[in-house]
Chains A and B, each alone.
Chain A
């Protein structure tokens, strides 16, 4: 089992729809969770962080965390073509100083 798993996609949604991106992780001791967005040919940039169970909202983005299920998700409401990118789930491990990145989910938002 990979330490951080994501569906590679591509996930295709129509403009205005909700895009749901999922991530599972194996380290039960992980305390912080990050979502990065990476446009093609660009570097990853942080869009959301979450530390507690439940939901955290920031504009059109909502991160959801369920530590019991070792599951973190990212919802994008009112998806726009500009949201088309690869979304990386990142989870720092508790055994050291390493942040493990998932393989990323490619999202396409169709106009």
Chain B
């Protein structure tokens, strides 16, 4: 089992640019989560998908953030336009059923200059 796959692993961009983060959940899992982790705020849930449908996006900080899950094996998190305060590690996680054990991907380290 390859685990949760995220790309890119590192991203450095300039303020105002569009950033797209990608995630492939574990095959067979029907729940997918996007988290953001910073020293100041810890691990924050941004959005949760169940069976490819967004269930809870209350954690998405503002309209600059959007997420999609076009099929069971792929999800994207997009930031447009990016700002320096978006610099963080973004994790994707998947689980069999929403509140059960979540398996985290390696994360994407985003730095917005």
Contacts and interface: CB of A to CB of B under 8 A. Distances in A.
Contacts of B48: 97-98
B113 interface: no
Q: Which of B48, B98, B99, B106 has the most CB of A within 10 A?
A: B99
B50 A97 contact: yes
Interface string A12-37: 00000000000000000000101000
Contacts of A57: none
A13 B31 CA distance: 37
26 contacts: A32-B100, A34-B101, A43-B91, A43-B104, A43-B106, A43-B107, A44-B43, A44-B104, A45-B104, A46-B101, A49-B101, A90-B102, A96-B55, A97-B31, A97-B48, A97-B50, A97-B98, A98-B48, A99-B33, A99-B45, A99-B99, A100-B45, A101-B42, A101-B43, A104-B42, A104-B43
Interface of B: 31, 33, 42-43, 45, 48, 50, 55-56, 59, 91, 98-107
Contacts, number: 46
B101 A97 contact: no
A46 B102 contact: yes
Interface in A73-111: 88, 90, 92, 96-104
